[in-house]
Amino acid sequence: MEGITQIKNKISLINYTTIKVGGCSDYFSEPSSIEEFSYLIKWANSNKFECLILGAGSNTLIKNIDLKRLTICTRSMKKIHIDDETNIIFAQCGALLPKLSTLLAKNSFKGGEWAIGIPGTIGGAIYMNAGAGKCCISDNLISVKVIDPMTLSIFELQKNELKFNYRFSSFQENKLIILEAKFYFKQKGSKAAIMDCTQNILAQRKRLQPYHLPSFGSVFKNPANAFAGKLIEESGLKGESIGGAEVSSMHANFIVNKSSATSQDIFDLIVLIQKKVLQKHEILLHPEVRMIGF
């Protein structure tokens, strides 16, 4: 196939995750189009390899092992634009959330301010139904274009054909792979006010969260009527470390890679946090983080 992306061998995934930890993928590729993506899935199927789909690599813990699979990184599928006639936003799966937030603000659309500074892609955000405060990515979703990895069929699903809850989407169960999405943001407001709000949210995140160190973003889902970070802090775990992994002293729902942490260090720290919070509060925290290879 003319122009198909290269399939590389034995690629370390350390620089493809935000926490800078990861094993080695036997095969690796970065498609820049749906056609290339489809080709890679077909290649994996014909060679009987599992596929690991990576966007920005946030919320992902990959074990330090050789992964006998094809890793498809979506970073090159990052196109995003607004249709001037309909105000519908089209975004490929690898487009970054802060890019969406900034584009919306620059075009006077309200509703995307929450996404600024969140280290994820459109595909990963829809998969996790990412959000902040009372907002989430599914609020403004119209439809999602997907590929079925078993049949290679490509089709569009409307929002009402999907299920979304707190940090949950149908994609965590149905095995379909997200390629593109459409969004609609109704309200238009003052561009200056929206830009200010967006920048204030970013400044607050930088002030309260450990942006200067590799991390997942938030590690645990908030339980009903509580905040994971507060429960972890009240359990005396701020600053707790195992190897090079540490519970951030800035925000307890962040684990940071302070000095060459291994995947096992991080995994063990996640388990320790769960154990201590369960002992202190009788609440079992559930990770947002995907565990690959464990």
Kindly state whether residues 121 and 193 are assigned to the same domain.
Answer: yes
What gap in Å lies between CA 198 and CA 113, rounded to an integer? 5
Residue 164 vs residue 1, higher pLDDT: 164
> Which domain covers residue 226, as residue numbers?
210-292
Q: For the domain that residue 251 is a member of, what is the CATH number?
A: 3.90.78.10
Kindly state whether residues 130 and 222 are assigned to the same domain.
Answer: no
Tell whether 169 is covered by a domain. Answer: yes
Tell whether 2 is covered by a domain. Answer: no
Kindly state whether residues 177 and 216 are assigned to the same domain.
Answer: no
Among residues 240, 236, 246, the alpha carbon closest in space to that of 216 is found at 246
Among residues 159, 181, 179, the alpha carbon closest in space to that of 169 is found at 159
State phi, psi for 113 to the nearest 5 degrees: -60, -35
What total of structural domains would you count in the chain? Answer: 3
Last residue within a domain, chosen from 207, 240, 263: 207
Q: Looking at 32, 58, 143, 167, which residue is catalytic? A: 167
Largest CA distance in the chain: 59
Residue 55 has pLDDT above 60, yes or no: yes
Average confidence (pLDDT) over 89-99: 97
Q: Looking at 101, 138, 288, 290, which residue is catalytic? A: 288
Tell whether 187 is covered by a domain. Answer: yes
Kindly state whether residues 265 and 279 are assigned to the same domain.
Answer: yes
Q: Looking at 215, 218, 235, 248, which residue is catalytic? A: 218
Q: For the domain that residue 69 is a member of, what is the CATH number?
A: 3.30.43.10
Kindly state whether residues 92 and 176 are assigned to the same domain.
Answer: yes
Question: Any catalytic annotation for residue 288?
Answer: yes
Q: How far is CA 109 from the centre of its chain?
A: 23
Kindly state whether residues 133 and 54 are assigned to the same domain.
Answer: no
Write out pLDDT tens, residues 169-228: 999 999 999 999 999 997 787 899 999 999 999 999 999 999 999 999 999 999 999 999
Write out pLDDT tens, residues 260-269: 999 999 999 9
Structure tokens at 113: 């301010």
